[in-house]
Each structure stands twice: as structure tokens, then as C-alpha cells.
Amino acid sequence: MKHDLELKLQAWLDGELPQDQAAPLGQWIARDSEASALVAELRAVKETLPGNETPRAVPDTREFYWSQIQRRIERETPALRPERAPRFGRWQRYFLALAGVAAAACTLVITLRHAAPPIFDEISSTSDSMEAVTFHDQSGQMTVVWLQDNSPQATPKQPLLKTQGANQDEGSPNVEIQ
């Protein structure tokens, strides 16, 4: 007998075949002596095995074992409610962010204020014949202004010299030379 036919007979015996295939196969088993002998042998094995087979437990894998423990712990542990933050705690994050922005703004203003170049007073002349040269020494904190009158009616004199600064002696006045 073919192996495929033997498997079909075993499926018929176990009740695994659909009804439309099981009815014709049952009629064929009743007519064929070889098929009925095989079904009788399979039925005897099927009835003998459940009583004589020793039960064997398959060992659990490590992951399965620990997942069972975790599920038991989760079942037995009551769910904790999350605590509400105190009112100050909720506003604290907004306050800290605002304080950080204010500190950054103050730092920026102070930095830009000290980093700005010094502002010089400009000398304006109403006459085209007047010449002015300004020199500023930041390290010595001194400013020198050189004024010269180039008009034709001006008599040749020495140019005016005016100095101001922190390097002067404490009691000495500003120096002007004419």
C-alpha cells in the first residue's frame, strides 16, 4: 500500500478528514481487506499508547521561566498611582526657564555695553578754513585735538593744542597751547 494512502487512513481514524472525503474512504475500507487490517492495527496502537506512555515534561527556557516570574509579580503588585507634583513644582519649571532667559538677556546687554566702541565727540567747524585732527589713545585714556586756522587773514601762529586724560597729574589742569 502507498504511503499517502496509509496517511489518509490514519487521518480517517483520528477523525481529521472532512466529511465529503471521510464517507467514500470508509466504504473503501469496508471493501478492502488490506486497508481494514491496517486500520485495525492503527486502532490497536492508538488505544495502547495513551495508557503506557510515560509523561515527559519539556523543560522551560530561561526566558520563559523569567517571564512567568515577571507576570506573577505584576499581577500581585498593585498599580501605583502617579503622585501629583506640588503647585510650586509645576510652576517651578516655568519660573526657572524665565529666569534663565532673563539672565541670558542681562549677560548679553552687559557684554554689548562693554564691547561697544567708545563714543567720541566730533568737532564740527563752521568755517572751511579751519582744520581739526583728533587723536584718541584708549590705553592711556587720552585725547588730543589739533586745531589749525588756515584762513588768509589769520596770522601765522602756532596751532592750538588741547589735551585731556587720566594720565595727567591729579592737581594739574587741562593743558592748552595757543
Q: Which amino acid is at 9?
A: L
Phi and psi based region of residue 141 (left: phi greater than 0; alpha: psi -120 to 50; beta: remaining): left
Q: Which amino acid is at 68?
A: Q
List, in order, residues 6 or more apart from 138 with CB less than 8 Å away: 118
CA 115 to chain centre: 35
Query: What pLDDT was estimated at residue 17?
Result: 87
Task: Enumerate residue ranges in the chain where pLDDT < 50.
Answer: 170-173, 175-178
Q: What pTM value is reported for the model?
A: 0.31
List, in order, residues 6 or more apart from 35 with CB less than 8 Å away: 1, 5, 9, 28, 29
Write the burial class of residue 87 (CB in 10 Å: 0-12 exposed, 13-18 middle, 19+ buried): exposed
Q: How far is CA 8 from CA 1, 23, 41, 48, in A?
A: 11, 12, 15, 21
Closest CA to 136 of 162, 112, 173: 162
Query: What pLDDT was estimated at residue 51?
Result: 73
DSSP class of residue 149?
E
The ranges assigned to domains in the chain are 3-52, 130-177
